[in-house]
Chain A
Amino acid sequence: MATHDLELAFPNLRGTPYEITSPSSSAYNCIAWAAGETNRWWWPALSYYWPAGVTREATLSTFVAAFKSLGYAVCDDERLEAGFEKVAVYVDAAGVPAHAARQVESGEWTSKLGRDVDIRHPNLKSLESPLYGLVAQILKRSRAAR
Chain B
Amino acid sequence: MPSARTRATKTRRIAVRGANHASKTFRELADKWRAETRFISSVEKLSMNYSYQRIIGMGSPAVPLLLRELKQKPDHWFWALEAITGANPVPAQAQGDIQKMADAWLSWGHQHHYL
Contacts and interface: CB of A to CB of B under 8 A. Distances in A.
Interface of A: 9, 24, 26-27, 29-32, 39-43, 45-50, 58, 96-99, 112-116, 131
A99 B38 contact: no
A97 B42 contact: yes
Contacts, number: 77
Given A26-B75, A40-B97, A41-B96, A48 B38 contact: no
A26 B69 CA distance: 14
Contacts of A114: 37-41
Contacts of A27: 97-99
A39 B101 CA distance: 12
Nearest to A115: B38
Given A40-B96, A49-B97, A31 B41 contact: yes
A52 B23 CA distance: 39
Given A27-B97, A29-B41, A114-B40, 15 more contacts: A26-B74, A26-B76, A26-B98, A32-B96, A39-B97, A40-B95, A40-B97, A41-B41, A41-B43, A47-B88, A47-B101, A48-B96, A49-B97, A96-B42, A98-B41
A131 B45 CA distance: 11
A116 B95 contact: no
6 contacts: A43-B42, A47-B96, A48-B43, A113-B39, A115-B37, A116-B39
**Interface of B: prevailing SS:** loop
A131 B46 CA distance: 12
B90 interface: yes
What band does the interface of chain B fall in when counting residues whose beta carbon is under 8 Å from A?
Answer: 20 to 34
Contacts of A46: 82, 88
> Which 6 pairs across A and B sit closest by C-beta, in order of nearness?
A49-B96, A40-B96, A45-B43, A114-B39, A29-B41, A114-B40
A21 to B, nearest CB: 15
B31 interface: no
B45 to A, nearest CB: 8
Contacts of A31: 41
